[in-house]
Structure 1
């Protein structure tokens, strides 16, 4: 396995963000999903290694309030679209001018909004994301806020049970996570006309958590859809995810 290098970058408000890097070559910046981390989404199951072996420098930050990044409890450190601001700071700090950008779930949402804010990656990858998911954050956010507020009392069979279990596994700072959930913005379908670079919508065959990925690919000016095994939780554990991403970026 390629060496994983770790550094820290100061994001918005001086929040320390852990940045994990593998491989050498063309930079591809990957953002993980909610309650997850670079380690779990990209490194643990070998998908970052696939990209590194394909000739990419894989740059994987832990989002604020996630992984090894800081999780401040100060509400002013969670303004509207703070994850996008962190992303823009990271791109500038690393001096990235010619790069690719990808994300899974919350990371995909952040990547789209990063493009809408002016970032211009050569290619874009949206994992675990559908058309309605980009515009339906209020419903998704309410589900996770409910899981935070009822944490420790949610029983198996409850729709929030999986979220509770994942938060326990990942040792999520629930105060910081709740603040972060309130900072995320919707992206209406009509805004997608501005996402003009080639975009891969890669999604598990059994993943409908964020709506239809084929519909998202169809709505993008240059979108394409790739199905991989798994559901929203498991698709990142299959190497087909990394292989689809590498093939798209090398095409």
Structure 2
């Protein structure tokens, strides 16, 4: 991996593969660029389609810096990392795809720096993003406990297990989760005039339906991945085909 320093001094690791039109990828919470984009076949699919794939480890994750202060993990701060990475690479703009947390960051990046992004794919998110009541407590407790067997919330246990599988800094992730679970700035969605594809699995209870979120944006469209939940949507062939079609239009 290569590294650069973000605007606030946090070191961000990233990898680049392929040649062609750039696509910037923002992975999900407790994941890494390798788990989210390489192991799932995304990097291969995009490079074979003629794209240059730019994959950071989001701050707090993988090989990037891991501050323990929740103020370091606002969606705006992470969106600024994406812009700073484009600056570092000398890229004036790119298509942008995020999954779950990365999709939240991507939508905020499209709100705040629309001149830097062409098409946006927000996957692993949906109607639940519009709900201001998103209690981070159970997941934070699950991340910080020294006894995983004590975790009763199934969704929280899933995050803890995923964090441990990826050998993450759980204190950094707890700070990150508290920040990204603040009410999403949904009022800004109407300002996103770029084409946006919202993707969610049919049985993804964490995201909810894709359509209500897509409808909040002037050029939003929705795609539902049949019979897939939050974890299984990521590498699904139908998701890849929908995105390649969207980017190629």
TM-score by length of 2: 0.89
Deviations 1:107-166 (A, max 9, x none): 000011112212331111000011331554x62533421221335334576322212211
3-state DSSP of counterpart to 1:225: strand
Deviations 1:218-245 (A, max 9, x none): 2211111112242111111323222221
Q: Partners in 2 of 1:96 and 1:52 — Cα distance?
A: 17
Are residues 1:249 and 2:244 paired?
A: no
Q: Partners in 1 of 2:72 and 2:151 — Cα distance?
A: 32
State the match for 2:231 in structure 1. 233
- Please point out which of 91, 94, 104 is paired with 1:109: 104
State the match for 1:194 in structure 2. 191
Work out whether residues 195 and 221 of structure 1, in 8 Å CA contact, stay in contact via their aligned partners in 2: yes
Cα shift at 1:198? 0.7
TM-score by length of 1: 0.88
Worse-superposed segment, 24-33 or 197-206: 197-206
Work out whether residues 200 and 207 of structure 2, in 8 Å CA contact, stay in contact via their aligned partners in 1: no
Matches within 5 A, 1:152-191: 152-154=147-149, 158-159=153-154, 160-184=156-180, 185-191=182-188
Q: Partners in 2 of 1:62 and 1:134 — Cα distance?
A: 26
Segments of 4+ in structure 1 off by > 6 A? none
Q: Partners in 2 of 1:129 and 1:190 — Cα distance?
A: 16
State the match for 2:29 in structure 1. 34
3-state DSSP of counterpart to 2:148: coil
Runs of at least 5 residues in structure 1 that lack an aligned partner in the other structure? 1-5
Matches within 5 A, 1:95-174: 95-120=90-115, 121-136=117-132, 139=134, 141-154=136-149, 158-159=153-154, 160-174=156-170
Worse-superposed segment, 225-234 or 58-67: 225-234
Work out whether residues 132 and 211 of structure 1, in 8 Å CA contact, stay in contact via their aligned partners in 2: yes
Cα shift at 1:68? 1.7
Cα shift at 1:20? 1.4
Q: Partners in 2 of 1:216 and 1:29 — Cα distance?
A: 21
Q: Partners in 1 of 2:212 and 2:54 — Cα distance?
A: 28
Q: Partners in 1 of 2:93 and 2:144 — Cα distance?
A: 42
Work out whether residues 202 and 209 of structure 2, in 8 Å CA contact, stay in contact via their aligned partners in 1: no
Q: 1:151 to 1:221 in 2, by over 3 A?
A: farther
Runs of at least 5 residues in structure 2 that lack an aligned partner in the other structure? none
